[in-house]
């Protein structure tokens, strides 16, 4: 079912998909930088959503501002306003859907957003899953994506893959209290990271784990940043097991 989330005058496009039987929880799925909610049947969030639906977990997935079908300019997107987007999704689940356990699942930059949202609203989140969470955004911005810029003289906009990355995105990323905020969440956390991740080093998940009191870290052999190939099957199984146990 298509849904519309509203945040500061913007309309964010999303989808709510019920479980095949009685909902045992609702998972809010968050995509990464330049991604979307998963329109292709082979995309990570599409496969994850349908896998969870088949195991009695409903899902809400959405396009962050400036991505996919959501309103907003990509050049205005920041991690901070993506957290506000995610809060709108959390409000939708809390106030528009039947009461059920709430899970957050974030991939890459979406993992950073999920970790911080859980830290801000720990009492509402039953479990948290971080897939290759890109906390590297704080230290090297988008250099891992090939973007070149002078951190001491950041322009208002930087061309990047037929888009414009906003300078404010880079400026605010440098001071994000990622781990400090994430540590405010004390519930169960599952961290999954591919050993062959070419964009976010697996050590990043180890950094996250050090800030959590109740977490498990699984490194998936040969998995790249998108968990493609056999690693996708392993990731889907691990997430499902963690949320249904």
Q: Domain residue spans in the chain? A: 2-244
For the segment 168-195, the average pLDDT, to the nearest whole number, is 96
pTM for this entry? 0.95
The rounded distance, in Å, linking the Cα atoms of 219 and 232 is 12
What pLDDT digit, counting tens, does each position of 213-245 carry? 999 999 999 999 999 999 999 999 999 999 999
3-class DSSP string for the chain: CEEEEEECCEEEEEEEECCCCCCCCEEEEECCCCCCCCCCCCCHHHHHHHHHHCCCCEEEEECCCCCCCCCCCHHHCCHHHHHHHHHHHHHHHHHHCCCCCEEEEEECHHHHHHHHHHHHCHHHCCEEEEECCCCCHHHHCCHHHCCCCCCCCCCCEEEECCEEEEHHHHHHHCCCCHHHHHCCCCCCEEEEEECCCCCCCCHHHHHHHHCCCCEEEEEECCCCCCCCCHHHHHHHHHHHHHHHC
What is the band of 101 on the pLDDT scale with cuts at 50, 70, 90? very high
What is the band of 143 on the pLDDT scale with cuts at 50, 70, 90? low
For the segment 64-84, the average pLDDT, to the nearest whole number, is 97
**Residue 194 confidence (pLDDT):** 98
Q: Is the pLDDT of residue 179 over 80?
A: yes
Q: Which residue, 15, 19, 16, 88, is CA-closest to 243? A: 19
What is the band of 144 on the pLDDT scale with cuts at 50, 70, 90? low
The rounded distance, in Å, linking the Cα atoms of 15 and 32 is 17
For the segment 43-62, the average pLDDT, to the nearest whole number, is 97
Q: Is the pLDDT of residue 67 over 90?
A: yes
Using CA atoms, how far residue 25 sits from 15, 22, 97, 119, 244, in Å, is 16, 9, 11, 20, 9
What is the band of 36 on the pLDDT scale with cuts at 50, 70, 90? very high
CATH of 2-244, one of 3.40.190.10, 3.40.50.1820, 2.70.98.20, 3.20.20.70: 3.40.50.1820
Q: Is the pLDDT of residue 20 over 90?
A: no
For the segment 6-29, the average pLDDT, to the nearest whole number, is 92
Average pLDDT, rounded, for the chain: 94
For the segment 135-163, the average pLDDT, to the nearest whole number, is 77
Q: Is the pLDDT of residue 146 over 70?
A: no
């Amino acid at each position: 079912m298509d849904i519309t989330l509203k945040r500061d005058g913007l309309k964010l496009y999303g989808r709510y998909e019920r479980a095949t039987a009685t909902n045992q929880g609702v998972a809010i799925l968050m995509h990464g930088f330049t991604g979307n909610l998963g329109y292709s049947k082979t995309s990570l969030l599409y496969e994850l959503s349908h896998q969870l639906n088949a195991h009695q977990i409903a899902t809400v997935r959405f396009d962050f501002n400036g991505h996919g079908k959501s309103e907003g300019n990509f050049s205005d997107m920041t991690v901070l306003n993506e957290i506000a987007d995610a809060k709108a999704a959390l409000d939708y689940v809390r106030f528009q859907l039947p009461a059920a356990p709430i899970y957050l699942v974030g991939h890459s930059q979406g993992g950073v957003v999920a970790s911080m949202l859980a830290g801000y609203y720990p009492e509402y989140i039953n479990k948290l899953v971080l897939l290759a969470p890109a906390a590297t955004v704080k230290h090297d911005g988008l250099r891992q994506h090939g973007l070149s810029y002078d951190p001491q003289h950041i322009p208002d906009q930087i061309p990047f893959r037929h888009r414009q990355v906003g300078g404010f995105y880079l400026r605010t990323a440098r001071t994000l209290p990622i781990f400090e905020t994430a540590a405010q969440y004390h519930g169960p956390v599952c961290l999954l990271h591919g050993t062959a991740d070419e964009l976010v080093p697996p050590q990043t998940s180890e950094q996250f784990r050090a800030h959590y009191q109740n977490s498990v870290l699984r490194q998936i052999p040969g998995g790249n940043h998108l968990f493609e190939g056999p690693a996708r099957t392993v990731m889907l199984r691990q997430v499902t097991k963690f949320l249904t146990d």
